[in-house]
Amino acid sequence: MRLLNAALAAGATPLASVKPRQQVTVRGELVSVTLMPVHDAHWLRAELSDGSGILNLVWMGRRTVPGIKAGATLTVKGRVTLEDDGRQVMYNPCYELESVD
């Protein structure tokens, strides 16, 4: 509830109400960060949670992104789409790092 209240106070859209193809600003905490090999490149994948839902974030062609690690709180902006398995994802989001725990 703490994460959702902080997101709402910052004017962010709750993850539970985000729809595909929507341009949004969301805020939450990274619960996991993993490096995925995709063909000859690497994608950095993170799961963002605001307490109401999860949004996958993907930085294509990146092995690391400064400040992106589990426990970090950030605000991201971008367009939400669906992955093949139905999960919501935002590719190469603009982000603002709030804090790192």
Write out pLDDT tens, residues 36-50: 887 778 899 999 999
**Mean pLDDT, rounded, of the chain:** 90
Give the CATH number of domain 2-100: 2.40.50.140
Query: Contacts for 68-72 with beta carbons within 8 Å, 24 or more apart?
Result: 68/30, 68/33, 68/44, 68/95, 69/30, 69/33, 69/100, 70/30, 70/31, 70/32, 70/33, 71/29, 71/30, 71/100, 71/101, 72/29, 72/30, 72/97, 72/98, 72/99, 72/100, 72/101
pLDDT at 37 (0 to 100): 83
Q: pLDDT > 70: what percent of the chain?
A: 97
pLDDT over 80 at 92, yes or no: yes
- Model confidence, pTM: 0.88
pLDDT band at 99 (very low <50, low <70, confident <90, very high): low
